[in-house]
Chains A and B, each alone.
Chain A
Amino acid sequence: MRMIIDSRLPSMTRSRLIPTLCLLTGCLVASPLLQAQNTDWTPLNLAMTDAVVIPAYERFAAATAPLARNAAGFCAAIDADSLAALQQDFSAAYDGWQGVQHIQFGPITWFNWNFRLQFWPDDKGTGARQLDALLATADPAVLVPEAFAQQSVGVQGFPALERLLFSDDSLVALQNEPYRCQTVQAISRNLDDIASGVAQRWRDEFRTTVANADERGFFESAEDATIDYLKAVVESVRRIQQQKVQPVLGDNQAAARERRAEAWRMDRSVQHMRTNVAALAALFNDSAPALSSVLQPADLPNIQQAFATLQQHLADAPDSMNTAITTAEGYAAFKQVDADLDALFELLEAGVKGTDLYLGFNSLDGD
């Protein structure tokens, strides 16, 4: 279920390939050409980029800056208040990431940036094992930014920092182990370097790539670029369901396991999902023209309704997933979210099938 591949697979429109199809499949009816879709892809792509994507990355970078700044001065005098303040900074930065987590194309895929920010789910607990080994070695050279960027992604990102800041013994351990605190600083700086790097590359570089997508450089076509935005919405609905909800719920309430939630140590898994779904809805709707315009108009009311239902149920669900799943009522609330995500995905998938757009193989394949 982990999403490992970040390099993009350009997809393509079918229309220029249609003439050969009957030769190959021996179809019995003449195949009419697809109805030409009246979408002007580049203005749509730029509208999404300028109104939704770049602002979201800028919010993310704006949230990691205070984390890095405050972490830099944190180790001099650690007490419960200063730890709580840094935890707040961390939560805000993590929220910023949740607002762009679904965008799995463009600069985020460069330099392993996406995995360095968050390697999760970590089914094998590799990050925890590697973080323990790193702390045991206590080698200062490893924490130098250039060297730290080359370490396992399991120790570089949000999950590792959450473990350092939100464990039961975090305060005492950070007070007593200078190297542990230096690791907090290294991860915080790393997160900020990456967040500001991605925002800058979108602004200064990738926006131009999107604007020129028809010149067959990075993208095969402007329509091909649109498919990446659409994939960001459709695949993410499934990913939230399969990674953030279902593993926690298990087959029944007795099998529910809060430690499989995305942010169980800080118990903000629900807030993360609210941010995720709001971000998906924004990418789908909040530009002019909007991504929703690529689907058939007749399919949209049900999709919009499904978005609204999901958002309402997430808003109504308990804030703490950790405790909610121990009660029948709380468990049922997240079963409902599971069902809502499923319904939304099915509608989106059916909507995509009603267009010329083919999303292609997905990176969630695999064990």
Chain B
Amino acid sequence: MTPTLRLKALALAIGITGLVACTTPADDRLSSSATATAGSAAAEALAGAPSAQAVIATYVAIAQASYGDALLTARELSTAIDTFLAQPSEATLNAAREAWRKARIPYIQTEAFRFGNAAVDEWEPRVNSWPLDEGLIDYVADSYGSESDNNFFYTANIIANPVVDIGGISVDANNITPNLLAEMLHAIDGVDANVATGYHAIEFLLWGQDLHGTAPGAGERPWTDYDVASCTNGNCDRRRAYLAAAMQLLESDLDEITQSWQTGGEVYEQLMAKGENGGLATMLTGMGSLAYGELAGERIRLGLLLHDPEEEQDCFSDNTLWSHYYDVQSIHNVYRGRYTRVDGSVVQGASLEAMLRANAPVEHAEMSARVESTELAMTALVEQESPYDVLIAAGNSKGEALINAVVTALIEETNTIEKIINVLDLQNVSIEGSDSLPAVNQ
């Protein structure tokens, strides 16, 4: 039998179980729901390997809780922004910034759910696009430059310009609305760096450009940029409208994805339709793709290559180290089947880790070591004093060593995730629309 035929036979076998499962009511498709009781992981270990179905159920429960927390904290951010716009001051601006930082914590922990779930990956650019050419949105310093090979809208400055006509595209921005941001400006002219919406657009609106280069210090946008009475940098009314519209969009986008993870929602149904192997493959794809190409590569390694302060994910707020930290948590939440919610309660259940511990002790031991190394390297990074853009400065060998330790650990962890995919025989499981397993895509 050729490998291809063997896989077809296996798929057929799985397909039959899937068919039986699909005749049962939706809510019963997950035979074991994750619970908030401590000690269930230990119980699983004693009872032997958890079923794939139970492991996937935990995955879904954690996703629902994580996106739910992201929505909850976005609503708190929205309230803080409302207060700031109603009573602009240093204090209310700082409160809004603090709410943004808090909102990042649960959102970043959703990122391992992005890759592998096609509908999430498609939705994600609306809320977390990065890097951005912020000159699209508002005023920028001279050091930003005035043109880009890639982007005609590099300095379009929508807040200052109610009407824009560039490269044959005209934009009527007289009314700054969520619809204008989402449908017209976001990724305008097919350029990903034209980020008009999401966390990083809001971050730019709250902090402004970080003009400290690779020296300490974040963006220092004055609160008076939003004070119509004593307006700095012009167009405060339009800036206020932009911030309010962007916030409204973030909230509705998060609401949409949270719904989509519920029974009957698009993401949930797509995941269920993949069957058990497809579900496990989705989990591991999310872990590996985030660890490797996204986090180790795009978000971390690149900074060391370019030594450029713009090459950090939360570059306006200097919150980057914490975003990286919670990305690692996100990967490990999926692996351990355990998530600590913003209210301190714990969602946990049958885990991939328990499945491996029972059935593939070699890979389990290797993965345990990898998880520990990555967390140690990441903890060392957040526990030192310097922000990320200082660490990536040319000639900062201490910063380079700290960051390289994280990159190395993430690459080794991805290597082990590949071994787990092998040991679970998921290499060729098709997860429709995914960008990562095993095809080269994106």
Contact A4 B442, beta carbon cutoff 8 Å = no
**Is there a chain A Cβ closer than 8 Å to B253's Cβ?**
no
Which B residues are in CB contact (< 8 Å) with A250?
A: 189-190
Stretch from B76-84, B126-134, B177-185 that touches the partner: B126-134
Among residues of B, the one whose C-beta sits closest to the C-beta of A4 is B297
Contact A2 B302, beta carbon cutoff 8 Å = yes
Partner of A5, one of B292, B360, B419: B292
Contact B297 A5, beta carbon cutoff 8 Å = yes
B191-218 toward A: CB 8 Å interface, digit per residue (1/0)?
0110000000000000000000000000
Contact B302 A25, beta carbon cutoff 8 Å = no
| Among B149, B311, B439, B441, residue most surrounded by chain A Cβ atoms (within 10 Å) | B149
Give Cα distance in the complex from A133 to B310, angstroms: 14
Stretch from A211-219, A300-308, A352-360 that touches the partner: A352-360
Which B residues are in CB contact (< 8 Å) with A366?
A: 293-294, 297-299, 442
Contact A130 B306, beta carbon cutoff 8 Å = yes
Give Cα distance in the complex from A146 to B194, angstroms: 37
Partner of B2, one of A27, A122, A354: A354
**Is there a chain A Cβ closer than 8 Å to B137's Cβ?**
no
Contact A152 B2, beta carbon cutoff 8 Å = no
Give Cα distance in the complex from A24 to B52, angstroms: 8
Contact A150 B395, beta carbon cutoff 8 Å = yes
> With A24-B423, A25-B425, A32-B6 given, is the CB distance from A153 to B306 under 8 Å?
yes
**Is there a chain A Cβ closer than 8 Å to B424's Cβ?**
yes
**Is there a chain B Cβ closer than 8 Å to A293's Cβ?**
no
**Is there a chain B Cβ closer than 8 Å to A339's Cβ?**
no
**Is there a chain B Cβ closer than 8 Å to A39's Cβ?**
no
**Is there a chain A Cβ closer than 8 Å to B59's Cβ?**
no
Which A residues are in CB contact (< 8 Å) with B292?
A: 5, 9, 361, 363, 365
Contact A260 B149, beta carbon cutoff 8 Å = yes
**Is there a chain B Cβ closer than 8 Å to A128's Cβ?**
yes
Contact A363 B297, beta carbon cutoff 8 Å = yes
**Is there a chain B Cβ closer than 8 Å to A235's Cβ?**
yes
Contact A34 B133, beta carbon cutoff 8 Å = no
Interface positions of B from 324 to 358, Cβ below 8 Å from A: 355
**Is there a chain A Cβ closer than 8 Å to B39's Cβ?**
no
Which B residues are in CB contact (< 8 Å) with A238?
A: 440-441
A1-36 toward B: CB 8 Å interface, digit per residue (1/0)?
111110101111010011011011111110110110
Give Cα distance in the complex from A21 to B49, angstroms: 13
Q: What is the minimal beta-carbon distance from A250 to any residue of chain B, in angstroms?
A: 5
Give Cα distance in the complex from A32 to B1, angstroms: 8
Which B residues are in CB contact (< 8 Å) with A359?
A: 438, 440
Contact A358 B427, beta carbon cutoff 8 Å = yes
Q: What is the minimal beta-carbon distance from B401 to any residue of chain A, in angstroms?
A: 14
A21-58 toward B: CB 8 Å interface, digit per residue (1/0)?
10111111101101100000000000000000000000
Contact B277 A25, beta carbon cutoff 8 Å = yes
Stretch from A198-206, A251-259, A268-276 that touches the partner: A251-259
Which B residues are in CB contact (< 8 Å) with A112?
A: 305
A326-366 toward B: CB 8 Å interface, digit per residue (1/0)?
00000000000000000001000100011110111111111
Q: What is the minimal beta-carbon distance from B201 to any residue of chain A, in angstroms?
A: 15
Q: What is the minimal beta-carbon distance from B432 to any residue of chain A, in angstroms?
A: 14
Contact A152 B307, beta carbon cutoff 8 Å = yes
Contact B411 A9, beta carbon cutoff 8 Å = yes
Stretch from B9-17, B85-93, B244-252 that touches the partner: B9-17
Partner of B293, one of A5, A23, A32: A5
Q: What is the minimal beta-carbon distance from A296 to any residue of chain B, in angstroms?
A: 7
Q: What is the minimal beta-carbon distance from A159 to any residue of chain B, in angstroms?
A: 10
Interface positions of A from 226 to 240, Cβ below 8 Å from B: 234-235, 238-239
Give Cα distance in the complex from A18 to B145, angstroms: 56
Q: What is the minimal beta-carbon distance from A241 to any residue of chain B, in angstroms?
A: 10
**Is there a chain B Cβ closer than 8 Å to A94's Cβ?**
no
**Is there a chain B Cβ closer than 8 Å to A367's Cβ?**
yes
Contact A35 B3, beta carbon cutoff 8 Å = yes
Which A residues are in CB contact (< 8 Å) with B298?
A: 2, 4, 366-367
Contact B1 A115, beta carbon cutoff 8 Å = no
Among residues of A, the one whose C-beta sits closest to the C-beta of B311 is A126
Contact B288 A4, beta carbon cutoff 8 Å = no
Q: What band does the interface of chain B fall in when counting residues whose beta carbon is under 8 Å from A?
A: 35 or more
Contact A4 B310, beta carbon cutoff 8 Å = no
B52-64 toward A: CB 8 Å interface, digit per residue (1/0)?
1000000000000
Contact A7 B411, beta carbon cutoff 8 Å = yes
Give Cα distance in the complex from A32 to B9, angstroms: 10
Contact B394 A365, beta carbon cutoff 8 Å = no
| Among A9, A154, A238, A345, residue most surrounded by chain B Cβ atoms (within 10 Å) | A9
Which B residues are in CB contact (< 8 Å) with A234?
A: 440
Give Cα distance in the complex from A238 to B435, angstroms: 12
Give Cα distance in the complex from A286 to B3, angstroms: 27
Contact A365 B10, beta carbon cutoff 8 Å = no
**Is there a chain B Cβ closer than 8 Å to A69's Cβ?**
no
**Is there a chain A Cβ closer than 8 Å to B168's Cβ?**
yes
Which A residues are in CB contact (< 8 Å) with B130?
A: 367
Which A residues are in CB contact (< 8 Å) with B307?
A: 151-152
Which A residues are in CB contact (< 8 Å) with B302?
A: 2, 4
Which B residues are in CB contact (< 8 Å) with A154?
A: 306, 308
Contact A361 B150, beta carbon cutoff 8 Å = no
**Is there a chain A Cβ closer than 8 Å to B154's Cβ?**
yes
Which B residues are in CB contact (< 8 Å) with A355?
A: 3
Give Cα distance in the complex from A290 to B2, angstroms: 22
Which B residues are in CB contact (< 8 Å) with A115?
A: 305
Q: What is the minimal beta-carbon distance from B442 to any residue of chain A, in angstroms?
A: 5
Contact A353 B131, beta carbon cutoff 8 Å = no
> With A154-B306, A367-B192 given, is the CB distance from A361 to B10 under 8 Å?
no
Contact A151 B394, beta carbon cutoff 8 Å = yes
Give Cα distance in the complex from A58 to B154, angstroms: 41
**Is there a chain B Cβ closer than 8 Å to A139's Cβ?**
no
Contact B13 A29, beta carbon cutoff 8 Å = yes
Listed by A's residue number, 21 A-B pairs whose Cβ atoms lie within 8 Å are: A2-B298, A5-B296, A9-B292, A11-B418, A14-B427, A24-B360, A27-B10, A121-B150, A123-B193, A124-B133, A125-B150, A125-B151, A130-B306, A152-B305, A153-B305, A257-B150, A257-B152, A358-B422, A361-B438, A366-B298, A367-B131
Chain B residues near A (Cβ < 8 Å): 1-4, 6, 9-10, 13-14, 16-17, 49, 51-52, 115, 125, 129-131, 133, 143-145, 148-152, 154, 168, 189-190, 192-193, 276-277, 280, 288-289, 292-294, 296-299, 301-302, 305-308, 310-311, 355, 359-360, 394-395, 407-408, 411, 414-415, 417-419, 421-425, 427-428, 435-442
The 9 closest A-B pairs by CB, nearest first: A365-B293, A4-B297, A366-B298, A125-B148, A21-B425, A5-B297, A28-B13, A259-B149, A358-B427
List 20 other contacts, CB 8 Å, given A31-B10, A129-B143: A4-B296, A5-B297, A11-B418, A12-B422, A20-B359, A21-B423, A24-B423, A25-B14, A119-B305, A119-B306, A124-B133, A124-B150, A150-B395, A239-B440, A247-B190, A251-B190, A255-B190, A359-B438, A365-B436, A366-B297
